[in-house]
Amino acid sequence: MASPARIEVDKLSVEQLKALKEQTDLEVNLLQDSLTKIRTATTRLENATASLHELSLRPHGKKLLVPLTASLYVPGTLDDAEKVLVDVGTGYFIEKTMAQGKEYCERKINLLKSNFDELLEMATKKKNIADEMGMLLQAKLRQASPSPSS
């Protein structure tokens, strides 16, 4: 696989350097947005795992509130805590045992944490590159501007 061509940023014009820095800043912002979304998804799965654990401790026939949405709950009765419905995305649910449901959540959490670490490393590198370009751009702008005469 061919490696991407390296750009010698110190040879770019001020306008080219500004455009490249803006593009890099945009990439950093997109990576940071992705990191936030992964953090949110991980938290939701951790909450689901905790809820599954709590559900497994409740006796059959126990009355409880069932969440339909984040803010809408309806009264219900626990019939079988050994079977759960797992949201696998895009409106699809799969019936699993309690152990399978917990394992599914843990597997997804581990995948998200792995992706988070990779994205964090990439975002850090891009941020460092953007900072270096910013300093180079400032230096070029100082060189290009006429110095005040005494």
In whole angstroms, what is the distance from residue 98 CA to residue 52 CA?
7
Cβ–Cβ under 8 Å, residues 78 and 64: yes
Q: How confident is the model at residue 66 (pLDDT cuts 50, 70, 90)?
A: confident
Interval 86-97: pLDDT, tens: 988 898 999 999
pLDDT in the model for residue 108:
96
Q: pLDDT for 37-47, tens place per residue?
A: 999 999 999 99
Tell me the domain boundaries of the chain. 14-136
Helix (H, G, I), strand (E, B) or coil at 20: helix
**Residue reference for tokens 């394992």:** 103
**C-alpha span between 146 and 134 (Å, rounded):** 20
Residue 68 identity (one-letter amino acid): L
CA distances from 58 to 7, 53, 63, 123 (A): 61, 9, 10, 43
What does pTM read for this prediction? Answer: 0.76
The pair of three-digit structure tokens given for residue 37, joined into one six-digit string: 């979304």
d(C-alpha 106, C-alpha 125), whole Å = 29
pLDDT digits (tens, 9 = 90+) for 71-111: 999 999 988 888 998 988 898 999 999 999 999 999 999 99
Domain 14-136 in this protein, CATH class: mainly alpha
**78 closest CA partner among 108, 98, 58:** 58
Adjacent-strand bridge partners of 77: 63
